[in-house]
């Protein structure tokens, strides 16, 4: 039986310190040293405008990396403007954001990630990543030393569909060769687990519990649950 695990990336396998709002602070540190803005100042302006905020709408027009990032510049500028940053600084910071966000030294792999991937691989499971993420996700996976574990790495920026859109899950299943058994593991109840469920794929929510979902506090427990599940071959 062919078997595969589909993993989310951010906050499941790895994380970037501070994510989007803290990255804006880091950019402001470069553009306006000594400023007084905190990450919380930028959060209100980051609650809409990203492709995953309108996941119902496919966005194949953003499959070019430069075009994807360019589509976010108004969102980033808006978050800075809303916090009171001058227009000229906001414009300059929005251009600088991409390089700062992708700095590898700001990313870290969770301690339980590699042991979980190794354990399942020894058990005959293949691994894939399906993430609502930026175009450079495959580069981040390589840079963090995780590429060897994965047969497939798909970012929504490249495929034009955001989880929980059913076509996002259809894409990764096709790339995996339609395995007979598959699981989704991720930290978002709606995007990862409910989306997978609607695509006919069982899932395990990790890191952040939510009512009504099978939950594992860490990846070791998630692996236990998968290995104990009936009819896995």
Residue ranges of the domains in the chain? Answer: 3-15+107-228, 17-105
133 closest CA partner among 25, 44, 190, 52: 52
In the predicted model, residues of the chain with pLDDT beneath 70 are 231-233
Cβ 138 vs Cβ 156: under 8 Å = no
Residue 169 and residue 8: Cα distance in Å, rounded?
Answer: 11
For the stretch 154-213, pLDDT in tens is 999 999 999 999 999 999 999 999 999 999 999 999 999 999 999 999 999 999 999 999
Residue 127 and residue 130: Cα distance in Å, rounded?
Answer: 10
pTM of the entire predicted model? 0.95
Superfamily of chain region 3-15+107-228: HAD superfamily/HAD-like (3.40.50.1000)
Q: What is the pLDDT of residue 231?
A: 61
Cβ 41 vs Cβ 50: under 8 Å = no
Cβ 162 vs Cβ 55: under 8 Å = yes
Q: What is the pLDDT of residue 66?
A: 97
Which residues, in sequence order, are bridge partners of residue 201?
A: none
Q: Which residues contact 178 (CB under 8 A, 6 or more apart)?
A: none
At 87, which helix (H) or strand (E)?
Answer: helix 87-101
Residue 54 and residue 36: Cα distance in Å, rounded?
Answer: 32
Parallel, antiparallel or unpaired: strands 107-109 and 215-216: unpaired
């Amino acid at each position: 039986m062919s078997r595969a695990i589909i993993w989310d990336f951010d906050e499941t396998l790895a994380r970037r310190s501070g994510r989007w709002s803290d990255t804006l602070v880091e950019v402001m540190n470069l553009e306006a040293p000594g400023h007084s803005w905190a990450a919380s100042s930028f959060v209100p302006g980051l609650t809409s405008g990203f492709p995953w905020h309108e996941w119902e709408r496919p966005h194949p027009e953003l499959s070019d990396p430069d075009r994807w990032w360019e589509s976010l510049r108004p969102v980033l500028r808006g978050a800075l403007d809303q916090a009171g940053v001058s227009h000229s600084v906001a414009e300059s910071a929005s251009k600088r954001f991409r390089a700062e966000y992708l700095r590898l030294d700001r990313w870290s792999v969770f301690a339980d990630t590699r042991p979980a991937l190794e354990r399942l691989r020894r058990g005959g499971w293949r691994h894939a990543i399906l993430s609502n993420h930026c175009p450079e996700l495959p580069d981040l996976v390589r840079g963090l030393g995780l590429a060897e574990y994965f047969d497939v790495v798909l970012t929504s920026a490249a495929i034009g569909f955001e989880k929980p859109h059913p076509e996002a899950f259809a894409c990764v299943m096709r790339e995996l060769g339609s395995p007979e058994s598959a699981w989704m593991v991720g930290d978002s109840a709606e995007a990862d687990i409910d989306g997978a469920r609607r695509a006919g794929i069982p899932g395990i929510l990790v890191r952040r519990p939510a009512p009504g979902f099978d939950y594992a506090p860490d990846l070791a427990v998630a692996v236990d649950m998968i290995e104990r599940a009936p009819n896995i071959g």
